[in-house]
Structure 1
Amino acid sequence: MSEQFDLTAPVLITGRGGSGTRLLSKLLQQSHLFLGNRLNRQGDSLEWVNINRRMMFNDIKLSNNTYNDKWIDQFRKLAAQITCNTSTKAYSNWGIKLPEMLFILPEFFAAFPNTKLIHLIRHPIGLSCRRTHITSRLDNPVGKWVLPQAYKYLGLNFEQSNASNIINNAISWKYQLDIITEFTEKHLSSHQYHVVKFEDMIKTPQKVFEGINIFLCHSSKLQSEIEIDSKRAQKTKCVDTKDINKIWSICGKTASKYGYTRQNWQLKKNDS
């Protein structure tokens, strides 16, 4: 190709999986962002899964001195390999959409210091009352890695827990959003970090799309062509007041930082 992407400046898309990241991936692709050569139904950048899992499962971290120049080199070589045959004329930039990248943010930014991070959030009650995600399931290696840490972070005894899927969803939500909130507050400016709310994406997709493009310094006049399935977005399991109270007791403090209340979790028909 005649020009090359700036490999130090990808766009990283994260979020608690199952919160609508598939829809966010589609919006970013409409903004002419190259997310890789192999994407799954959720719009995940599959070429980054292996290195992500190797680092997670083998405890490769800056904080314990196991992340070094070798890993930085592997990150950058993989980026070059993935983007080498992609024409920059067809895309505005390159990026990665993989929710679990949020577990290795310090390491990712060490390799790509000019990264722009877009993170999707969703009301914890609405999310917890939906299906489980790999980060909150014990029948998946990722969940087996995440949940014990999430319990420990909250001061809960994982070994003696018999929590429902709904509560494990809430615990996983709290842990993941606190990780990214702490990292971004300490290390990133508003020019590097952009939050998208799932609820806004459903109610006002064009406005969200414009906000994303302004953040990425793209044309804000681009029109979104994504069709929003509001009925799918509204689907939640039946939960009782005890479940709602428990979810809010776990997640409320963090959720409040993002403007959520205990009452505004349901997406109603006249909201979309």
Structure 2
Amino acid sequence: MPDFAKQGPIVIGGVGGSGTRLIAEIVMDMGFYLGGMLNQSKDLLYFSLLFKRPTWFSKVVTSNEQEIFRGLKILENRLTTQKELTGKDIKFIEKAAQTYRNGDLLAQKIKKNMLFPDPINRQLYRGWGWKEPNAHLFLPYIHRYFPNGKYIHVIRNGLNMAFSKNQQQLFNWGPLFGVTIPNNPMKIPNASLTYWIKANERAVMYGTEQMKGRFLLIQFDQLCVNPTPQLQKLAEFLAVDDLAIDEWSEKIDPAAAASKYKEAD
């Protein structure tokens, strides 16, 4: 049997609200381990704790990118071998827990779980990875640390996204893309669409140019309207031969592709 630790990672990301949860559920059905501590959206909370920290990211990306690789090293450890952490690793986790969500109860709960994770039954899975929408922001670093890893980018109708209630990425990361957060709520959709364009362009350009054969773009709206081609493409990308198209299709709601933006001004 292939070494579980070497069969990954499979990373799923996209602008918040793109449909990454659906892809994660299907990938899990295909037999991949996407972590033991997930929220309702199937986000790996380990990744959120370590990396969903805009102020920290803006500092280390220019001064000490090795900190990003340390975070990825810890993530790999917790999702695969679960070997004993070093003192520096533990200190990194503790500091992340203090800054993530201002060190609230959830942050402390995630930290405790990372330090004392539940064991993984590797025999149940064909490989490992994680889903966290914000992963696309770290794609170049993920690729450099895991040169044999694979990344799935989910993209959804930008106009629907602009009028979505899920604008957390815009508020967290918009300034990194030169997008000013408006004080006037009426101007949020314009800023959201600008962020959507810039964030997706960055991820798709990097993936197609630097990760040939290891980058997959899933069009969420096409998946909802005509699931089979997108599901076959996903299975082929992950080298899954035992197809269960009908079973996976049951998770898909065609109505999710509706052009809700037409109801807006």
TM-score where L is the length of structure 1: 0.72
Amino acid at match of 2:122: T
- Output aligned runs, 1:111-130, within 5 Å: 111-130=145-164
Superposed displacement of residue 215, structure 1: 0.6
What RMSD over aligned residues (CA atoms) do the two structures have, in Å? 2.6
When residues 101 and 61 of structure 1 are mapped into structure 2, their CA distance, relative to the original with a 3 A threshold, is farther
Amino acid at match of 1:197: Q
Question: 1:17–1:133: 8 Å Cα contact kept in structure 2?
Answer: yes
When residues 35 and 239 of structure 1 are mapped into structure 2, their CA distance, relative to the original with a 3 A threshold, is same
Superposed displacement of residue 108, structure 1: 1.7
Q: Is the partner of 2:129 in helix, strand or coil?
A: strand
Q: List runs of 5+ in structure 1 lacking aligned partners.
A: 137-142, 241-272
Superposed displacement of residue 214, structure 1: 0.4
Residues 145-176 of structure 1: per-residue CA shift (max 9 Å, x gap): 312233x26xxxx3777452321220220121
Superposed displacement of residue 92, structure 1: 1.5
Q: Is the partner of 2:135 in helix, strand or coil?
A: helix
Q: Distance in 2 between matches of 1:159 and 1:80?
A: 37
Match of 2:11 in 1: 12
Q: Is the partner of 1:6 in helix, strand or coil?
A: helix
Q: Distance in 2 between matches of 1:239 and 1:6?
A: 47
Superposed displacement of residue 125, structure 1: 1.7
Q: Distance in 2 between matches of 1:117 and 1:98?
A: 11
Taking every aligned residue pair, what percent have the same amino acid on both sides?
21
When residues 160 and 37 of structure 1 are mapped into structure 2, their CA distance, relative to the original with a 3 A threshold, is closer
Question: 2:154–2:217: 8 Å Cα contact kept in structure 1?
Answer: yes
Superposed displacement of residue 204, structure 1: 2.2
Question: 1:10–1:115: 8 Å Cα contact kept in structure 2?
Answer: yes
**Residue 149 (structure 1) aligned with residue 176 (structure 2):** yes
Match of 2:91 in 1: none
Residues 10-61 of structure 1: per-residue CA shift (max 9 Å, x gap): 0110111112111111111111111100111211111111111247634255
Q: Distance in 2 between matches of 1:131 and 1:54?
A: 21
Q: Distance in 2 between matches of 1:228 and 1:120?
A: 14
When residues 210 and 169 of structure 1 are mapped into structure 2, their CA distance, relative to the original with a 3 A threshold, is same
Q: Distance in 2 between matches of 1:202 and 1:159?
A: 31
Q: Distance in 1 between matches of 2:27 and 2:181?
A: 40
Question: 2:182–2:188: 8 Å Cα contact kept in structure 1?
Answer: no
Match of 2:192 in 1: 169
Q: Distance in 2 between matches of 1:36 and 1:131?
A: 27
Superposed displacement of residue 107, structure 1: 1.7
Which structure features the higher share of helix residues? 2
Question: 1:34–1:93: 8 Å Cα contact kept in structure 2?
Answer: yes
Q: Distance in 2 between matches of 1:86 and 1:21?
A: 23
Match of 1:95 in 2: 129
Pick 1 or 2: higher relative contact order, CA cutoff 8 A, min separation 6.
2
When residues 50 and 94 of structure 1 are mapped into structure 2, their CA distance, relative to the original with a 3 A threshold, is same
When residues 3 and 213 of structure 1 are mapped into structure 2, their CA distance, relative to the original with a 3 A threshold, is closer
